[in-house]
Protein backbone atom coordinates (compact mmCIF):
# COMPACT_ATOMS: atom_id res chain seq x y z
CA UNK A 1 0.00 0.00 0.00
CA UNK A 2 1.40 3.40 -1.02
CA UNK A 3 1.96 5.80 1.88
CA UNK A 4 -0.84 8.24 2.74
CA UNK A 5 -0.13 11.47 4.62
CA UNK A 6 -3.11 13.60 5.66
CA UNK A 7 -2.59 17.25 6.55
CA UNK A 8 -4.78 19.17 9.01
CA UNK A 9 -3.69 22.74 9.69
CA UNK A 10 -6.94 23.81 11.35
CA UNK A 11 -8.19 20.80 13.35
CA UNK A 12 -10.94 20.97 15.95
CA UNK A 13 -11.99 19.29 19.14
CA UNK A 14 -15.50 18.26 18.07
CA UNK A 15 -18.19 18.22 20.74
CA UNK A 16 -21.60 16.69 19.98
CA UNK A 17 -24.76 16.62 22.07
CA UNK A 18 -28.55 16.76 21.79
CA UNK A 19 -31.41 18.66 23.39
CA UNK A 20 -35.17 18.04 23.52
CA UNK A 21 -35.57 21.10 21.25
CA UNK A 22 -33.42 23.90 19.83
CA UNK A 23 -34.82 27.42 19.80
CA UNK A 24 -33.67 30.87 20.93
CA UNK A 25 -34.43 32.14 24.42
CA UNK A 26 -34.58 29.43 27.06
CA UNK A 27 -31.63 27.56 28.46
CA UNK A 28 -31.23 24.31 26.54
CA UNK A 29 -30.57 21.32 28.80
CA UNK A 30 -28.33 19.04 26.78
CA UNK A 31 -27.55 15.35 26.95
CA UNK A 32 -23.98 14.31 27.91
CA UNK A 33 -21.57 15.42 25.22
CA UNK A 34 -19.18 13.29 23.24
CA UNK A 35 -15.72 14.52 22.24
CA UNK A 36 -14.09 13.43 18.99
CA UNK A 37 -11.15 14.58 16.88
CA UNK A 38 -12.24 16.91 14.09
CA UNK A 39 -10.88 18.53 10.97
CA UNK A 40 -10.85 17.25 7.40
CA UNK A 41 -7.44 15.57 7.31
CA UNK A 42 -7.87 14.16 10.82
CA UNK A 43 -11.18 12.58 9.82
CA UNK A 44 -9.72 11.19 6.59
CA UNK A 45 -6.95 9.48 8.58
CA UNK A 46 -9.48 8.19 11.11
CA UNK A 47 -11.68 6.78 8.34
CA UNK A 48 -8.73 5.00 6.71
CA UNK A 49 -7.67 3.55 10.06
CA UNK A 50 -11.21 2.39 10.89
CA UNK A 51 -11.42 0.63 7.51
CA UNK A 52 -8.20 -1.27 8.17
CA UNK A 53 -5.77 0.91 6.23
CA UNK A 54 -2.80 2.98 7.32
CA UNK A 55 -2.30 6.74 7.18
CA UNK A 56 0.00 9.19 8.90
CA UNK A 57 -1.77 12.29 10.17
CA UNK A 58 0.17 15.55 10.25
CA UNK A 59 -1.82 17.77 12.61
CA UNK A 60 -1.15 21.30 13.88
CA UNK A 61 -1.93 21.44 17.62
CA UNK A 62 -1.88 24.22 20.18
CA UNK A 63 -2.89 24.89 23.77
CA UNK A 64 -5.04 22.76 26.11
CA UNK A 65 -7.52 21.98 23.35
CA UNK A 66 -4.63 20.70 21.26
CA UNK A 67 -3.47 18.46 24.09
CA UNK A 68 -6.98 17.06 24.51
CA UNK A 69 -7.22 16.46 20.77
CA UNK A 70 -3.80 14.78 20.74
CA UNK A 71 -4.87 12.39 23.49
CA UNK A 72 -7.97 11.40 21.50
CA UNK A 73 -5.95 10.83 18.33
CA UNK A 74 -3.43 8.63 20.11
CA UNK A 75 -6.20 6.69 21.85
CA UNK A 76 -7.68 5.90 18.44
CA UNK A 77 -4.37 4.50 17.24
CA UNK A 78 -3.55 7.19 14.70
CA UNK A 79 0.03 7.52 13.49
CA UNK A 80 0.31 11.14 14.60
CA UNK A 81 2.87 13.65 13.36
CA UNK A 82 2.43 16.73 15.54
CA UNK A 83 3.43 20.22 14.41
CA UNK A 84 2.98 23.40 16.48
CA UNK A 85 0.00 25.62 15.68
CA UNK A 86 0.34 29.41 16.15
CA UNK A 87 -2.44 29.43 18.76
CA UNK A 88 -5.11 27.46 20.60
CA UNK A 89 -6.73 24.57 18.70
CA UNK A 90 -10.36 25.46 18.03
CA UNK A 91 -13.59 23.86 19.16
CA UNK A 92 -16.52 22.92 16.99
CA UNK A 93 -19.79 21.53 18.24
CA UNK A 94 -23.08 20.15 17.03
CA UNK A 95 -26.48 19.94 18.71
CA UNK A 96 -29.24 17.62 17.51
CA UNK A 97 -32.85 18.63 18.09
CA UNK A 98 -34.37 15.42 19.48
CA UNK A 99 -37.86 16.46 18.43
CA UNK A 100 -37.14 17.10 14.75
CA UNK A 101 -33.88 15.21 14.23
CA UNK A 102 -32.31 18.36 12.75
CA UNK A 103 -28.65 18.96 13.48
CA UNK A 104 -27.12 22.37 14.22
CA UNK A 105 -23.39 22.61 13.57
CA UNK A 106 -21.18 25.42 14.90
CA UNK A 107 -17.63 25.74 13.57
CA UNK A 108 -15.22 28.18 15.23
CA UNK A 109 -12.38 29.96 13.44
CA UNK A 110 -9.07 28.74 14.81
CA UNK A 111 -5.71 30.55 15.12
CA UNK A 112 -4.27 32.83 12.43
CA UNK A 113 -1.15 31.63 10.62
CA UNK A 114 1.64 33.92 9.50
CA UNK A 115 3.81 33.51 6.43
CA UNK A 116 6.69 32.02 8.41
CA UNK A 117 4.35 29.50 10.07
CA UNK A 118 3.04 28.38 6.69
CA UNK A 119 6.53 28.09 5.19
CA UNK A 120 7.68 25.98 8.13
CA UNK A 121 4.76 23.58 7.98
CA UNK A 122 5.15 23.18 4.22
CA UNK A 123 8.79 22.26 4.78
CA UNK A 124 7.64 19.66 7.32
CA UNK A 125 5.08 18.19 4.91
CA UNK A 126 7.70 17.83 2.17
CA UNK A 127 10.14 16.20 4.62
CA UNK A 128 7.50 13.80 5.94
CA UNK A 129 5.91 12.50 2.71
CA UNK A 130 7.57 9.77 0.67
CA UNK A 131 8.35 10.60 -2.95
CA UNK A 132 5.36 8.61 -4.24
CA UNK A 133 2.96 9.33 -1.37
CA UNK A 134 -0.61 10.49 -1.49
CA UNK A 135 -0.86 13.80 0.40
CA UNK A 136 -4.39 14.72 1.44
CA UNK A 137 -5.19 18.41 2.03
CA UNK A 138 -8.70 18.17 3.42
CA UNK A 139 -10.80 20.69 5.33
CA UNK A 140 -10.72 24.43 5.68
CA UNK A 141 -7.46 26.27 5.25
CA UNK A 142 -6.50 28.24 8.39
CA UNK A 143 -6.89 32.00 8.76
CA UNK A 144 -3.84 33.66 7.28
CA UNK A 145 -3.40 31.15 4.45
CA UNK A 146 -4.25 33.04 1.27
CA UNK A 147 -5.68 31.44 -1.88
CA UNK A 148 -2.79 30.08 -3.88
CA UNK A 149 -1.24 28.21 -0.95
CA UNK A 150 -2.48 24.90 -2.38
CA UNK A 151 -0.65 25.65 -5.64
CA UNK A 152 2.52 26.37 -3.66
CA UNK A 153 2.08 23.07 -1.85
CA UNK A 154 1.61 21.15 -5.12
CA UNK A 155 4.75 22.77 -6.52
CA UNK A 156 6.84 21.85 -3.47
CA UNK A 157 5.44 18.30 -3.32
CA UNK A 158 6.52 17.53 -6.88
CA UNK A 159 5.49 14.03 -8.04
CA UNK A 160 3.54 13.24 -4.88
CA UNK A 161 -0.16 12.84 -5.59
CA UNK A 162 -2.03 15.63 -3.84
CA UNK A 163 -5.73 15.17 -3.00
CA UNK A 164 -7.65 18.37 -2.22
CA UNK A 165 -11.05 18.66 -0.53
CA UNK A 166 -11.49 22.24 0.64
CA UNK A 167 -13.95 25.11 0.30
CA UNK A 168 -14.41 28.85 -0.05
CA UNK A 169 -11.78 31.07 -1.71
CA UNK A 170 -9.21 28.25 -1.85
CA UNK A 171 -11.59 26.04 -3.82
CA UNK A 172 -12.54 28.94 -6.10
CA UNK A 173 -8.87 29.65 -6.79
CA UNK A 174 -8.19 25.99 -7.57
CA UNK A 175 -11.15 25.84 -9.97
CA UNK A 176 -9.38 28.37 -12.19
CA UNK A 177 -6.73 25.73 -12.95
CA UNK A 178 -3.49 27.16 -11.53
CA UNK A 179 -0.47 24.98 -12.19
CA UNK A 180 0.85 22.66 -10.92
CA UNK A 181 -2.50 21.10 -10.15
CA UNK A 182 -3.41 18.44 -7.58
CA UNK A 183 -4.09 14.84 -8.54
CA UNK A 184 -7.68 14.92 -7.20
CA UNK A 185 -10.07 17.78 -6.46
CA UNK A 186 -13.35 16.99 -4.67
CA UNK A 187 -16.27 19.25 -3.80
CA UNK A 188 -19.92 18.98 -2.87
CA UNK A 189 -22.85 19.86 -5.11
CA UNK A 190 -23.52 23.24 -3.51
CA UNK A 191 -19.90 24.28 -3.98
CA UNK A 192 -19.97 23.09 -7.59
CA UNK A 193 -23.17 25.04 -8.29
CA UNK A 194 -21.58 28.22 -6.93
CA UNK A 195 -18.50 27.73 -9.11
CA UNK A 196 -20.56 26.92 -12.20
CA UNK A 197 -23.17 29.63 -11.69
CA UNK A 198 -25.66 26.93 -12.65
CA UNK A 199 -28.05 24.71 -10.64
CA UNK A 200 -26.47 21.53 -12.07
CA UNK A 201 -29.88 19.91 -11.79
CA UNK A 202 -28.91 16.50 -13.14
CA UNK A 203 -26.02 14.14 -12.55
CA UNK A 204 -25.05 14.62 -16.20
CA UNK A 205 -24.83 18.39 -15.62
CA UNK A 206 -22.52 17.81 -12.65
CA UNK A 207 -20.39 15.32 -14.56
CA UNK A 208 -19.99 17.70 -17.49
CA UNK A 209 -18.95 20.47 -15.12
CA UNK A 210 -16.43 18.14 -13.49
CA UNK A 211 -14.99 17.49 -16.95
CA UNK A 212 -14.89 21.23 -17.63
CA UNK A 213 -12.85 21.74 -14.47
CA UNK A 214 -10.58 18.83 -15.37
CA UNK A 215 -9.91 20.22 -18.85
CA UNK A 216 -9.30 23.66 -17.33
CA UNK A 217 -6.49 22.10 -15.30
CA UNK A 218 -8.08 22.19 -11.83
CA UNK A 219 -6.95 18.57 -11.22
CA UNK A 220 -6.34 15.32 -13.06
CA UNK A 221 -9.46 13.85 -11.43
CA UNK A 222 -12.47 15.95 -10.39
CA UNK A 223 -15.24 14.59 -8.15
CA UNK A 224 -18.55 16.25 -7.28
CA UNK A 225 -20.74 14.82 -4.51
CA UNK A 226 -24.50 15.06 -5.10
CA UNK A 227 -25.82 13.93 -1.72
CA UNK A 228 -28.55 11.31 -2.03
CA UNK A 229 -27.95 11.18 -5.80
CA UNK A 230 -24.43 9.82 -5.29
CA UNK A 231 -21.25 11.30 -6.74
CA UNK A 232 -19.87 11.93 -10.22
CA UNK A 233 -16.28 11.90 -11.45
CA UNK A 234 -14.30 12.98 -14.49
CA UNK A 235 -10.96 11.17 -14.69
CA UNK A 236 -9.83 11.59 -18.29
CA UNK A 237 -11.05 8.10 -19.22
CA UNK A 238 -14.74 8.91 -18.93
CA UNK A 239 -17.53 10.33 -16.80
CA UNK A 240 -18.69 8.16 -13.93
CA UNK A 241 -21.46 8.08 -11.38
CA UNK A 242 -21.98 6.09 -8.19
CA UNK A 243 -25.19 5.63 -6.25
CA UNK A 244 -25.67 6.58 -2.60
CA UNK A 245 -27.46 4.36 -0.09
CA UNK A 246 -28.18 7.04 2.50
CA UNK A 247 -31.92 7.31 2.94
CA UNK A 248 -31.44 7.18 6.72
CA UNK A 249 -29.25 10.01 8.01
CA UNK A 250 -28.30 9.87 11.69
CA UNK A 251 -25.42 12.36 11.41
CA UNK A 252 -23.96 13.98 8.32
CA UNK A 253 -20.69 14.82 10.09
CA UNK A 254 -17.69 13.31 8.36
CA UNK A 255 -19.45 11.82 5.33
CA UNK A 256 -17.23 13.69 2.89
CA UNK A 257 -14.10 12.87 4.86
CA UNK A 258 -15.10 9.19 4.95
CA UNK A 259 -15.52 9.34 1.17
CA UNK A 260 -12.03 10.80 0.72
CA UNK A 261 -10.54 8.27 3.12
CA UNK A 262 -11.95 5.21 1.37
CA UNK A 263 -11.24 6.69 -2.09
CA UNK A 264 -7.57 7.45 -1.36
CA UNK A 265 -7.11 4.16 0.49
CA UNK A 266 -8.33 2.31 -2.62
CA UNK A 267 -5.95 4.28 -4.87
CA UNK A 268 -3.09 3.53 -2.48
CA UNK A 269 -3.91 -0.17 -2.79
CA UNK A 270 -3.62 0.07 -6.59
CA UNK A 271 -7.34 0.14 -7.36
CA UNK A 272 -8.50 2.12 -10.41
CA UNK A 273 -10.27 5.46 -9.98
CA UNK A 274 -13.80 4.23 -10.89
CA UNK A 275 -13.75 1.42 -8.30
CA UNK A 276 -12.15 3.81 -5.80
CA UNK A 277 -15.12 6.13 -6.44
CA UNK A 278 -17.51 3.30 -5.56
CA UNK A 279 -15.66 2.54 -2.34
CA UNK A 280 -15.66 6.21 -1.39
CA UNK A 281 -19.41 6.45 -1.91
CA UNK A 282 -19.99 3.37 0.24
CA UNK A 283 -17.93 4.89 3.06
CA UNK A 284 -19.92 8.13 2.86
CA UNK A 285 -23.19 6.19 3.04
CA UNK A 286 -21.87 4.29 6.05
CA UNK A 287 -20.81 7.49 7.80
CA UNK A 288 -24.27 9.09 7.81
CA UNK A 289 -25.64 6.04 9.64
CA UNK A 290 -23.40 6.49 12.68
CA UNK A 291 -24.07 8.96 15.48
CA UNK A 292 -22.00 12.04 16.22
CA UNK A 293 -18.59 12.01 14.59
CA UNK A 294 -17.97 8.25 14.45
CA UNK A 295 -17.46 8.31 10.65
CA UNK A 296 -17.68 5.07 8.62
CA UNK A 297 -17.82 1.95 10.76
CA UNK A 298 -16.49 -1.23 9.11
CA UNK A 299 -19.69 -3.30 9.29
CA UNK A 300 -21.77 -0.46 7.83
CA UNK A 301 -19.16 0.08 5.12
CA UNK A 302 -19.19 -3.59 4.07
CA UNK A 303 -22.99 -3.56 3.90
CA UNK A 304 -23.11 -0.33 1.89
CA UNK A 305 -20.39 -1.44 -0.50
CA UNK A 306 -22.50 -4.40 -1.59
CA UNK A 307 -25.34 -1.98 -2.40
CA UNK A 308 -23.31 0.72 -4.15
CA UNK A 309 -23.43 0.67 -7.96
CA UNK A 310 -21.02 2.26 -10.44
CA UNK A 311 -22.00 3.36 -13.96
CA UNK A 312 -20.39 5.17 -16.85
CA UNK A 313 -22.37 8.22 -17.97
Q: Which residues are part of the catalytic machinery?
A: 257
Helix (H, G, I), strand (E, B) or coil at 102: coil
Cβ contacts of 296 within 8 Å, gap of 6 or more: 47, 50, 51, 254, 258, 261, 262, 283, 284, 286, 287, 290
Residue 42 parent element (H or E): helix 40-50
Please state, in angstroms and rounded to a whole number, the distance separating the CA atoms of residues 147 and 168.
9
The C-alpha atoms of residue 109 and residue 87 are separated, in whole angstroms, by 11
Structural contact between residues 13 and 93, judged by C-beta atoms closer than 8 angstroms:
no
- β-strands 231-234, 184-188 pairing: unpaired
Give which of 80, 81, 77, 54 is closest to 269, Cα–Cα.
54
Q: How far apart are CA 30 and CA 24, in angstroms?
A: 14
Amino acid sequence: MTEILTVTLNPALDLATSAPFVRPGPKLRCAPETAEPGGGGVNVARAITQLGGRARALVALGGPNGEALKALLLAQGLDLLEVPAPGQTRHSFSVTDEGTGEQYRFVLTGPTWGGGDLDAVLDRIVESAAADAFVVLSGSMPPGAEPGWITRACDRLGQRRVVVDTSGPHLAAQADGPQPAPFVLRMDSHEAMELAGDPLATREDSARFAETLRQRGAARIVIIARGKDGSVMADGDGLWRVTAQNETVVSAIGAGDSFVGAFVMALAEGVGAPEALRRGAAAASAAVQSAGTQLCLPDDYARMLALTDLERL
